[in-house]
Amino acid sequence: MQNRMNRHETLKDILGIIGFIVAVVVGAALINQVLFRSFSVSGPSMESTLYTGDRLIVNRIPSTVASIKRESYVPIRGQVIVFQNPHWIPGSPDEYIVKRVIAFPGERVVVNDGVLKVYNAEHPTGYLVDKAHPGPSSPTAGDVDVTVPDNELFVAGDHRQEGYSLDSRNGLGTVPYSDIIGPVSYRIFPFDKITSF
């Protein structure tokens, strides 16, 4: 009788451990998909703000709340965001990209002589985005004159010299709101460069 009770207790302990492990895995998956997500920076496109190997925490809450409300999450101009590469092919690298928000639907973006300007109703003569928001330490390469389509964003890396950043200026195109994962909230690695955004 005692032996049978010990087996019952052991089975109960094993099921308790399995239940705990399942709860931890499900909880971690929910946190990763709904609340926060971690990404690693690859490439020089966001220098001097972010560098290869930097580890980021992306806040999923705004996009999750927007999704629940059946709306699009719209970030703030100048905010650094992570989004799914609209041209990503499964199995290839760069599924997710980190860039800075430059312009919104209906706004005209012009790059000329190394200067990036946004034209909108509030600034009909042009607005120097880089003066209002920190980031780029180099002139903006390329010649661009584009109006951002509905439900999309114009994004750019902070390292805007030719060949350093694939963004809305040169091949990536504008980014649909539906591809946005969320805004970067923290750099958590390297430890000596922990930063909130």
Taking residues 12-36, what's their average pLDDT? 82
Mean pLDDT for the stretch of residues 64-73:
91
Q: Is residue 14 part of a domain?
A: no
**Is 69 labeled as catalytic in the residue annotation?**
no
Find the catalytic residue in 38, 42, 45, 193. Answer: 45
- The total of structural domains in the chain comes to 1
- pLDDT of 127 above 80: yes
Domain membership of residue 48 (yes or no) is yes
**Residues 195/186, Cβ–Cβ less than 8 Å:** yes
- Cβ atoms within 10 Å, residue 98: 25
Does any domain span residue 9? no
Report the CATH number at residue 156.
2.10.109.10
The percentage of the chain sitting over the pLDDT mark of 90, rounded to a whole number, equals 47
User: For residue 138, what are the domain limits?
Assistant: 39-196
pLDDT of residue 132: 67
45 is catalytic: yes
| Higher pLDDT, residue 92 or 12 | 12
In a domain, 22, yes or no: no
For the chain, the average pLDDT equals: 86
Location of structure tokens 């990536």: 172
Is residue 10, in this structure, part of any structural domain at all?
no
User: Is residue 26, in this structure, part of any structural domain at all?
Assistant: no
User: Which of 63, 99, 117, 168 is flagged as catalytic?
Assistant: 99
Contact 115, 139 (CB under 8 A): yes
Q: Are 155 and 176 in contact (CB under 8 A)?
A: no
pTM over 0.85: no
Residue 169 in any domain: the answer is yes
**pLDDT score for 134:** 62
43, part of any domain: yes
